[in-house]
Chain A
Amino acid sequence: MSIKDRLSKELFEPDRKETEGEILFFRLFELFVMSYVIKLAWEWGYYMVRNSEVVLPLGVANYIDVSFMFEHSISLINAALITLIVIAAFFRRGSRWQYFIAMLLFHLQYVGRFSQGEIPHSANLIGLSLLSFGIGFIFFRETLKQRRFIFGTIIFFTGLGYTSAAFAKLISTGINWADGNHLWLWIAEKKTDILSRTGTFQYNWLQELALYSRPAATVILAIGWITELSGVLIWWRSLRPYVITGIIMMHIGITLTMNIRFDAFIYELILIGYPWAALIDRYISYIPGAQYAQKLNQ
């Protein structure tokens, strides 16, 4: 079997039998993604109202001046449009292009909101998921194929993202990236951020350990880097739960050492990392309303 065949078998699981658990889980996963899309669209929309200038053009903002989003509540109108399109698409009303159109509007919302210099990645997995829904609905009509393609695409880009982050560190800094004094410098940076945000700051136990011992700080960074590097291993179904558990632990470590929270990432990793569909199948008779899953899927 060629690498291409093996990889597409692992990602798209063409031979696996469709089950009610899969159908129900996928609809719940879709609900999770779309709820987050709506939440972020409105949060970004409300924030944009106080922006007045584009400091850092991102994405499509390199080609069009997105400062028009800051006036006349356009960012809120965009949020409302995204909400309507996504809700209609969730209930399978309208065109199969809807999720993709919502993605384009969502991209516009992101580049408008984050035109002030910050490039956050905490919503990347949600954006990537919406994009995968968009592409999946355009190219596939059968629900089973849509599901398998969308899920496989999300897994592919999630794994790729972590591994590329590890390589970016290797390319930009080299093997000494994990030197503990680099963590000291980041902790000082994050301390400044927290002081700026809340006015107060206190070190936690992990930060104290890292600042006390340079070898300990080095080990913390090295474990993080190895975990990132292993990202592409989630492409293999049998390894996925273990690697995802490691990545979730890494995110908790990042939160503790650098006060950076990746809530949406962690929730979605929990959803894509474990065999929830099989678990639902095992206990489906106890789940109220599960028999309607097939109906919902139509």
Chain B
Amino acid sequence: MNLFKQRAFKILMGTFVVYGILVATHKGEFWPFSIYPMFSQAGNPWTRAIVRDVTHTPDSLVWETTDLEHIQGSKVALKKVGVDQIDFSNFISKTEQWDTNRKNALIRMFGPKNLGNSRWVISKVRGRLTAHDSVIVEVVPFLLVKRDTVLTNPLLPKNSYVILP
């Protein structure tokens, strides 16, 4: 068993070297290897996304920026629509160019059946620490989704939807 111990250690170290090379060259992640960097950057501002049904909300209020307690419309639970909310948040916050493909991908993600005749507003939710060490969360309506179209917020600057090179 002494030989086994030596051989096993060698193979383990070989795997460890491969692990080191893979995570070092892939920003700490090469599944299932990871340096587990989640939550390592504390205090950074974050952006998530939330969906609300604004079918019965007056047009004048649909694009209004609010906080989480005064958000417009009625609730839409992404779980019921079959969408992972983290995927969804990333899809909204990491998309740089809202071209037709991305807009259609959004309708496909929700499913036209789920949308029916209603209109859903997608808001970016931004959280940050203030200079006085309290937390501020603001909800900024970003896209209005109907079964066959996606509209952008006219109150936001155009470069919110297309980041030019």
Task: Give per-residue flags for A178-220: 1 if the beta carbon is below 8 A from chain B beta carbons, else 0.
Answer: 0101101110110111011111100000000000001000000
A-B contact count (CB 8 A): 201
Question: Do B1 and A168 touch (CB < 8 A)?
Answer: no
Q: Tell me, rounded to whole Å, the shortest Cβ–Cβ distance linking B96 to chain A.
A: 10
Given contacts A116-B87, A161-B36, contact A192 B8 (CB under 8 A): no
- Docked pose: A152 CA to B41 CA in angstroms: 31
Task: Give per-residue flags for B9-31: 1 if the beta carbon is below 8 A from chain A beta carbons, else 0.
Answer: 10110011001000000101111
In the assembled complex, A42 has its CB within 8 A of some CB on chain B: no
- Docked pose: A131 CA to B6 CA in angstroms: 20
Question: Do A12 and B78 touch (CB < 8 A)?
Answer: no
A118-159 at interface with B (beta carbon < 8 Å): 118-121, 123-128, 130-131, 135, 139-140, 145, 148-149, 152-153, 156-157
Inter-chain contacts of B36 with A (CB < 8 A): 121, 124, 161-162, 164-165, 168
Question: Do A192 and B43 touch (CB < 8 A)?
Answer: no
Stretch at the interface among B44-52, B57-65, B144-152: B44-52
Q: Tell me, rounded to whole Å, the shortest Cβ–Cβ distance linking B1 to chain A.
A: 4
Q: Which of B29, B48, B93 contacts A189 (CB 8 A)?
A: B48
Question: Do B94 and A127 touch (CB < 8 A)?
Answer: no
Q: Which of B33, B39, B78, B91 contacts A196 (CB 8 A)?
A: B78
Q: Tell me, rounded to whole Å, the shortest Cβ–Cβ distance linking A59 to chain B.
A: 5
Stretch at the interface among A48-56, A84-92, A268-276: A48-56
Question: Do B8 and A198 touch (CB < 8 A)?
Answer: no
In the assembled complex, A96 has its CB within 8 A of some CB on chain B: no
Inter-chain contacts of A145 with B (CB < 8 A): 4, 8
Q: Tell me, rounded to whole Å, the shortest Cβ–Cβ distance linking B111 to chain A.
A: 8
In the assembled complex, A237 has its CB within 8 A of some CB on chain B: no
Q: Which of B9, B31, B40, B93 contacts A110 (CB 8 A)?
A: B31
Question: Do B129 and A181 touch (CB < 8 A)?
Answer: yes
B132-154 at interface with A (beta carbon < 8 Å): 133-135, 137
In the assembled complex, A7 has its CB within 8 A of some CB on chain B: yes
Question: Do A179 and B125 touch (CB < 8 A)?
Answer: no
Q: Which of B7, B8, B134 has the most chain A CB atoms closer than 10 A to its own CB?
A: B8
Inter-chain contacts of B43 with A (CB < 8 A): 173, 179, 181-182, 185
Question: Do B77 and A184 touch (CB < 8 A)?
Answer: no
Question: Do A197 and B79 touch (CB < 8 A)?
Answer: yes
Residues of chain B touching chain A, judged by Cβ–Cβ distance below 8 Å, are 1-2, 4-9, 11-12, 15-16, 19, 26, 28-43, 46, 48-51, 68, 75-79, 82, 84-91, 93-95, 101-102, 104-105, 108-109, 111, 125, 127-129, 133-135, 137
Q: Top 9 nearest A-B pairs by Cβ distance?
A: A117-B90, A127-B32, A199-B75, A165-B36, A182-B42, A14-B1, A116-B87, A172-B40, A168-B40
What would 29 A/B residue contacts be, using CB atoms closer than 8 Å?
A5-B5, A8-B12, A11-B8, A12-B4, A58-B30, A59-B26, A59-B30, A111-B31, A116-B84, A116-B91, A117-B87, A117-B94, A118-B86, A118-B90, A119-B29, A145-B4, A148-B4, A156-B12, A161-B34, A168-B35, A181-B43, A191-B68, A192-B68, A192-B127, A193-B48, A196-B48, A196-B49, A199-B75, A214-B133
